[in-house]
Structure 1
Amino acid sequence: MPAHILVVGGTGMLSGLVEALAGDGGRLSLLSRHASQTAGGFDCDYHDAEAFNAALAAAVERSGPIDLAVAWFHTLKIAAPRLLAAQVKGRLFQVLGSATADPAHPDRLGRAAAVAEGLPACEVRQVVLGFKLEAGGSRWLTNDEISAGVLEAVRADRPLSIIGQVAPWSARP
């Protein structure tokens, strides 16, 4: 595993991922609103660009360059995704909501990847969260399924991974 791993938003649905990565060794940093409750955590709200950038700088100062980042941003229309991409000297796994796979908006994956445009040291990988079909309907993924799927995506190192399914689009919950 890389020397410095940084996870954004790892106290909720990605908490299982954080636990697994912590067990792999290396230095782990966590940025979220409640990260200080976890070893290696820095509290910040990614909607606050100044606070987010300060937390990133503190993580890099403490643990060195970011070799691997996993980030779940609810929106890319803020400064934080680009600020993170500028600090990554390796792979950045973007965890993206199912709306990224909406066939009516085929440009969304490309727009998400653009956060690293012009930053040759940052290699973007994308993980799209889908849903599960079950007898009688469909449901969103559980936190455990999301964490396990993102961990598998990081270990497989594919440019695009889909957890669950995104088709047929009309079957989503």
Structure 2
Amino acid sequence: MHSIFLIKNIKDNILVTSEPKSGKEICIMTSHYLVVGGTGMLSGVVKELIKRGNVVSIVSRGDEKFRKLIEVLGTKNLHHLSCDYHDIENLKIQLKNHTENIGFFDFSLCWVHEPSEMNVCSVAVEFTKNSLWHIVGSSLADPSKPEGISHRLSFFRKNHPNIEYRVIILGFVIDSRLNFNKSRWLSNLEISDGINVALKNDITVNIIGTTVPWSLRPGF
């Protein structure tokens, strides 16, 4: 197994690994990810990103869950911005200071509750170079409001033409053990696995689980 460690600051996006037999150093390009909400439901995504050698900066309100992530991952490539993302001005200041020190984010993932959802995404793209992945609830797939997705895509393409905007919709699971007439929400593991697949596939609109038939949506 190769041992990986940082040889330059994150702005350079370079890792170096040494081959165990020859000791030869190999430079590897890595990416810097912003994950809003990365200590809870998205912690599995953070773990996979770190496993691949990326640098991850997390925005969350609590420090305890972040400390637990550090204990599990044991890495220095994990950074924490402790703030309430509903305070948009403070979030903007923290992201500005953070990126001035270690560089812009290559990619951003945002899981944000209303009413700050679109505001947080708009702030995140100011400090993002490539793509923003917006993780949303199943309500965006409501068949009675078919314009929901297209409006978001149009908004970001118009206001942030240099950023690729991706949507990941968290659907539900139909329980085949009960004659396909019962459903449940996705587990955190299913969500993390689905997001990891979506990041690899790089498709504009992704649905984890299903959103049809809408009548089987839990609590509908």
Please say whether Structure 1 and Structure 2 have the same fold, judged by a TM-score greater than 0.5.
Answer: yes
Determine the structure 1 residue equivalent to 2:129. Answer: 89
Aligned positions of 1:138-149 closer than 5 A = 138-149=183-194
Does the 8 A contact of 1:4 with 1:27 survive in 2? yes
> 1:33-63 CA distances to partner (integer Å, 9 max, x unpaired)?
1255354011111110112112221331233
Worse-matched range after superposition: 5-14 or 112-121: 112-121
Asked which structure has the greater RCO (Cα within 8 Å, sep 6+), the reply is: 1
Q: Specify every segment of 5 or more residues in structure 1 that has no aligned partner in the other structure, as ranges.
A: none
Larger radius of gyration: 2
Match of 1:67 among 97, 101, 106: 106
Determine the structure 1 residue equivalent to 2:166. Answer: 125
1:104–1:24: structure 2 CA closer, same or farther, 3 Å change rule? same
> 1:3-47 CA distances to partner (integer Å, 9 max, x unpaired)?
211101111111100111111113211111125535401111111
Does the 8 A contact of 1:2 with 1:68 survive in 2? no
TM-score of the pair, normalised by structure 1? 0.91
Aligned positions of 1:27-66 closer than 5 A = 27-34=55-62, 37=67, 38=70, 39-66=78-105
TM-score of the pair, normalised by structure 2? 0.73
Q: Which amino acid aligns with 1:42?
A: L
Does the 8 A contact of 1:85 with 1:116 survive in 2? no
Does the 8 A contact of 1:67 with 1:88 survive in 2? yes
Runs of 4+ in 1 over 6 A off after TM superposition: none
- The structural deviation recorded for 1:97 is 0.4
Q: Which amino acid aligns with 1:152?
A: V
Matched residues, number: 173
Does residue 169 (structure 1) correspond to residue 209 (structure 2)? The answer is: no
